[in-house]
Amino acid sequence: MSRQLREFIVGRTDAESGAGASATVGMLGDALRPRFELGAGRSATVRHVWLDTFDWRLHRAGVSLEYSISRGAHRLSLLTRDSVQADTAVPRLSLPALTEQLPAGPLREHLAPIMGIRALLPIVSFAGTTREVRVLDTERKTIAYLTVDEAAARRPLATAWGPHATAPGSDATAPGSDATAPGSHATGSHATALAPRIRIAAVRGYDAQADRVERLIGGLPGVAAAAESAFHAAAQAAGMATPGYTNRVDVALAPSMAAGPALARVLLRLLDTAQANVDGAVRDADTEFLHDLRVAVRRTRAALKLAGDALPDGVAARFAAEFGWLGQLTTPTRDLDVHLLGFDAAAAGLATAAPADLEPLRASLLRYRAAERRRLIRGLRSARFTSLTSDWRAALSEVRAAGDEAARRPGPTTHVPIADLAATRTRRAYARLVRTGSAVTPAADEDQLHLVRKRGKELRYVLEFFATLYEPAIHRSAVRELKQLQDCLGDIQDGHVQREAIRALAERMVAEHAAPAATLLAMGELAAQLDATASRARGDFARRFAQFTSPRNTRRLALLAEVAA
């Protein structure tokens, strides 16, 4: 259950005096008398490890998760700025950890909707002396718990995962290795002292008394309310930017930038995203690493197709085939991930078959995935992949540098501005989508609808690449309308593709003698359900397309092109 939480920091002068946590507690006890007194407490060396997902979902949701280890005991605390949402003893965690690997209870219930399918990773740690005491009222009832932490931050534990890295040559190693597992972080020259932190956690029902304690402590010289969470302070001390990773194409473009160098900046951002996810995809921390890697590759291929002519001659053609290879390399594992991620929901939706009938299918999917992952890992560790990423970065960096140099030269320029490129490609992508979608009739086959979906993706990519050139409110509205159409087309395509995949899996399992009759019947029902889903989405296509091509939304797209130019 949630409890009020207040935090204070002790000024640097006091922190540097070396008084220690016990002396700080003594000072607090003097300040609280005679209204309150401090019960007996104990000091301990505690290691705090702050956990989050790779894309900082907890931080973005306004919560932080602290994993503390002391004297062989392990504890997880879910905190907001002013409350303890959940706090529980846990077995030693094995990281990365998915939601289902956490102990059942309130903490997991709080975390599940925030984490989704992402895994918890160790982000940053600190260790030091912690003194914990009870705050008693005049009737010697415990009204709050008071702790004083004196600690030093460590470099990010998750450096090897990509965006949590802070400096080349950091001594942090891979999460999950002995050197960085919680409780065994290697010490080194990167420890940074943190200001001592005082934490007051109210006992339920005693919030008013805890408020009084807060006022008394907050009035002490050198003591101030904490302006940031302990996690944020530790991350800053370790040199980390918060929040860190995002898969958005958030490149700031100026309308007057030369088109080629500006596009190179976008492509470099996509390369950064792809490379940031390689380690997680190889280690299989969670399925989103491979997904984000694939999205970055897909966006890169689309950029080369839709705007590659803005790059110097030969650059787009030189790399297009290699990115096609990379896309093909990552497809089989991701397709199997999609089946497995939706497996439980699909099994629960069976009407005539029992969910247990599909378990042989799950076993086969896991076996096929293991084989495909071995191929994926070989590819991501290959010289071909290393050459692709290094050569691509070098080529793009050269284009960007040439653009920067040209921009510094005085006098008029002859380059095509990125705003003009964005305007023409926005108009072209929208016109192609409208033309293709307008040709769809009730008798249209799956290939025609798939082509409409491809055209929708092309427009979406253009809107993503050049987002900072558009008027934000109009851009958001246009993307929202496009997304609704894409969702409809995606349901149509996914239903058909997954139906055919189920049939192919059934044939493969039969050939391997891995499909009991009950499983084949359940898979048949599953394929029928997928087909029904696709049919319902197809019935909604005309309405969605009419909404997207309405005069109002058509005007939005025209305004986007005008603003960009």
Helix H or strand E segment including 38: strand 37-38
For residue 124, count CB atoms less than 10 angstroms from its CB and return exposed for 0-12, middle for 13-18, buried for 19 or more.
buried
How many angstroms separate the CA atoms of 218 and 214, rounded?
A: 6
Sole residue written with tokens 């942090």: 172
In this prediction, residue 170 carries a pLDDT of 29
In this prediction, residue 44 carries a pLDDT of 87
How many angstroms separate the CA atoms of 155 and 58, rounded?
A: 20
Decide if 256 contacts 419 (C-beta within 8 A): yes
Helix H or strand E segment including 424: helix 418-438
In this prediction, residue 167 carries a pLDDT of 29
Helix (H, G, I), strand (E, B) or coil at 125: strand
Amino acid, res. 19? A
Helix (H, G, I), strand (E, B) or coil at 116: coil
In this prediction, residue 20 carries a pLDDT of 64
In this prediction, residue 538 carries a pLDDT of 92
- Domains in the chain (CATH in brackets) are 3-175+188-237 (2.40.320.10), 249-414 (1.40.20.10), 417-565 (1.40.20.10)
User: How far lies 460's CA from each of 49, 53, 230, 245, 463, in Å?
Assistant: 39, 27, 39, 22, 5
In this prediction, residue 228 carries a pLDDT of 85
User: Quick check: bond before 34 cis, omega within 30?
Assistant: yes
In this prediction, residue 26 carries a pLDDT of 84
- pLDDT, one tens digit per residue, over 29-43 is 888 988 899 988 788
In this prediction, residue 22 carries a pLDDT of 72
Q: How many residues does the chain have?
A: 565
pTM: 0.87
- Ordered per-residue pLDDT tens for the chain, 565 residues: 567 888 888 874 444 444 566 778 888 888 898 889 998 878 888 899 999 999 999 999 999 999 999 988 999 999 988 888 888 999 999 999 999 999 999 999 999 999 999 999 998 888 888 888 999 998 999 999 988 888 776 655 544 454 443 322 223 333 333 233 322 233 334 557 788 889 898 888 898 998 999 899 988 888 988 888 888 888 888 877 777 788 999 899 999 999 999 999 999 999 999 999 999 999 999 999 999 999 999 999 999 999 999 999 889 999 999 999 999 999 999 999 999 999 999 999 999 999 999 999 999 999 999 999 999 999 999 999 999 999 999 999 999 998 888 777 776 555 889 999 999 999 999 999 999 999 999 889 889 999 999 999 999 999 999 999 999 999 999 999 999 999 999 999 998 899 999 999 999 999 999 999 999 999 999 999 999 999 999 999 999 999 999 999 999 999 988 866 6
Alpha-carbon dihedral sign for residues 339, 344, 350, 356: positive
How many angstroms separate the CA atoms of 279 and 378, rounded?
A: 13
Helix H or strand E segment including 535: helix 517-548
Which tokens is 299 given?
């966006």
